[in-house]
Amino acid sequence: MTVRTVLKMGHPLLLQRAAEVDAFDTPLLHALLQDMRDTMTQLNGAGLAAPQIGVSLRVVIFGFDANERYPDAPPVPLTVLINPELSPLDEQMEEGWEGCLSVPGMRGLVPRHARLRYRGFDAQGQLIDRSVEGFHARVVQHEVDHLDGILYPFRIPDLRQFGFSETLFPGQLLVDD
Ligand code: NI
């Protein structure tokens, strides 16, 4: 069990484009994924991208069960997604509140594609191909943005809709992704 330090906004590595993974099912990749799972679980995250723990590779994990920490969100299957590609299924955008382990204690209102198809690979190199919507689609877009050096505050169109979680949503238990 290794909980790694999560880099915070301001760290230059979070602004880089991460590199493609070119070898699957390796001890190195499995060790990275184990650290990512441990870190996400420990910090109650909904997702985590490898650059957030200082590894500039195109690897994300996300997913959670329905529980009291996500009162309005349906469960999202725990997913390892490597070298992902996203394609929106239509033009429709949807606004939603986001947080991020690299921007702790904050929330912002971010427009995302409401429906999209994502493709990528799991740890063994097996193809993943899913069409999703709603919160699942949002989480994937947030995590894949990390691989391109984009943090959610960069996508907030109205910065008046950006602030501290405890002030915006007093008394609520919120998670970061
Ligand atoms: Ni994030």
Question: Contact 170/107 with Cβ under 8 angstroms?
Answer: no
Q: In which residue are the tokens 């950006």 written?
A: 162
20 CA to centre of ligand 1 in angstroms: 19
> Residue ranges of the domains in the chain?
12-168
What are 98's strand-pairing partners? 108
pLDDT bin (cut points 50, 70, 90) of residue 108 is very high
177 CA to centre of ligand 1 in angstroms: 5
| Predicted pLDDT at 139 | 96
Query: Looking at domain 12-168, which CATH architecture does it have?
Result: Alpha-Beta Complex (3.90)
Q: In which residue are the tokens 């943005």 written?
A: 145
pLDDT bin (cut points 50, 70, 90) of residue 143 is very high
22 CA to centre of ligand 1 in angstroms: 24
Token digits for 62?
A: 């996300």
Token digits for 123?
A: 């740890």
| pTM confidence score | 0.94
pLDDT digit string (tens) for 49-103? 999 999 999 999 999 887 555 667 788 999 999 999 999 999 999 999 999 999 9
| Residues with catalytic function | 143
101 CA to centre of ligand 1 in angstroms: 6
